């Protein structure tokens, strides 16, 4: 019998639509059980149903492959520092760029961070909307979710212009820059730079490489640039010159989460890149 997703899933996207899960990782299970109060036996069907609806709205690999179930910020070495700072200083602001369902933001809230200090931003309104149904918190969550295009920056007016005025101390931006070729990454980063308060940080995880350069991307004929720490620093030096700011990049490349066999997305040079980009001026 055909799985239900066969009905809504466009055929051309089959290659990045995994079979329904039979179990989820412990972090997302814990978040859904304790924060969202989903009964343990309902967690897996709930996740599969949300994945199907999310994919029908936006057929991205990160949804088809269930990557949104990885609470990325938790894997960053500054996670505890970020969480404590947000709890101890109510003036601290956190912004999640390309937040998808808002899963990392909910993890912070579940650990005691006041939700009004947190903002999510994504170009896809349906994903943020579905986030309320995923985490069952429409009535309680006080975070704002903004629909905006990082590439358009201030030229799109509100809500971006208000964000630029207020700025954030901590920006989380995972699995976003690696989607694009280097010139596009620089263009987006110039807009992101204008959202960061002095001494603020941009943190995240993305696909990196021990041989930085352009690699074929999912769309036929397109490329995306994979960084190491040094190429990422060069990019932010260029962003700094263009925005009259200065940035210090640190981070690590490792093989955690790399799919062992070569596939359409990763090759032998691929690494997980965890980065921290600090605005030093
Ligand atoms: C690969 S997903 C990563 C989601 C999440 N940050 C994570 O780590 O799992 C990329 C996200 O960026 C969003 N996005 C793509 N282009 C964007 C743009 N130009 N402006 C804002 N968000 C964008 C997508 O809608 C999607 O939610």
At 264, the pLDDT band (50, 70, 90 cuts) reads low
Residue 182 has pLDDT above 80, yes or no: yes
From 6-15, 149-158, 175-184, the region with the lowest mean pLDDT: 6-15
Cα gap 111→78, rounded to integer Å: 15
Mean pLDDT of 38-43: 98
Residue 5 pLDDT greater than 80, yes or no: no
Q: What is the dihedral of CA 226, 249, 146, 125, to 10 degrees?
A: 20
229 within ligand 1 shell (Cβ under 6 A): no
Give yes or no for residue 192 CB within 6 A of ligand 1.
Answer: no
- Tell me the CA–centroid distance for residue 129 and ligand 1, in Å: 14
Q: From ligand 1's centre to the CA of 11, what distance in Å? A: 22
Considering Cα of 92, then 96, then 102, then 103, what sign does the dihedral take?
negative
- Over residues 96-154, the pLDDT tens digits come to 999 999 999 999 999 999 999 999 999 999 999 999 999 999 999 999 999 999 999 99
Identify how many contiguous H helices and E strands the chain contains and give both numbers.
Answer: 10, 9
Q: Is 137 in the pocket of ligand 1 (CB under 6 A)?
A: no
Q: Which domains does the chain have, with CATH numbers?
A: 14-67 (no CATH), 70-279 (3.40.50.150)
Phi, psi angles (nearest 5°) of residue 175: 55, 35
Cβ(133) – ligand 1 distance below 6 Å: no
Report pLDDT digits (tens) over 50-67: 999 999 999 988 999 999
Is the distance from the beta carbon of residue 105 to the nearest atom of ligand 1 less than 6 Å? no
Using pLDDT thresholds of 50, 70 and 90, give the confidence band for residue 7.
Answer: very low
pLDDT digits (tens, 9 = 90+) for 77-110: 999 999 999 999 999 999 999 999 999 999 999 9
Ligand 1 within 6 A of CB of 67: yes
106 membership: H or E segment, kind and range: helix 103-110
């Amino acid at each position: 019998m055909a799985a239900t997703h066969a009905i809504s899933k466009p055929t051309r996207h089959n290659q990045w639509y995994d079979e329904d899960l039979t179990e989820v990782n412990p972090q997302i299970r814990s978040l859904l059980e304790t924060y969202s109060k989903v009964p343990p036996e309902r967690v897996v069907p709930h996740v599969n149903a949300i994945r199907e609806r999310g994919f029908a709205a936006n057929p991205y690999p990160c949804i088809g492959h269930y990557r949104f179930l990885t609470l990325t910020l938790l894997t960053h070495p500054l996670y505890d520092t970020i969480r404590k700072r947000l709890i101890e200083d109510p003036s601290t602001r956190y912004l999640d760029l390309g937040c998808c369902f808002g899963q990392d933001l909910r993890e912070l809230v579940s650990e005691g961070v006041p939700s009004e200090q947190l903002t999510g931003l994504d170009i896809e309104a349906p994903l943020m909307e579905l986030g309320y149904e995923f985490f069952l918190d429409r009535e309680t969550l006080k975070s704002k979710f903004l629909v905006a295009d990082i590439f358009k920056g201030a030229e799109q007016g509100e809500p971006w212009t208000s964000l630029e005025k207020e700025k954030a101390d901590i920006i989380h931006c995972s699995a976003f820059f690696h989607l694009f070729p280097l010139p596009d990454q620089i263009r987006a980063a110039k807009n992101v730079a204008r959202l960061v308060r002095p001494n603020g940080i941009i943190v995240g995880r993305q696909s990196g490489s021990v041989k930085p350069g352009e690699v074929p991307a999912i769309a036929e004929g397109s490329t995306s640039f994979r960084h190491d720490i040094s190429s990422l620093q060069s990019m932010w030096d260029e962003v700094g010159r263009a925005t009259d700011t200065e940035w210090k990049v640190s981070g690590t490349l490792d093989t955690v989460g790399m799919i062992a066999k070569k596939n359409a997305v990763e090759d032998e040079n691929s690494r997980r890149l965890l980065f921290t980009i600090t605005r030093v001026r």
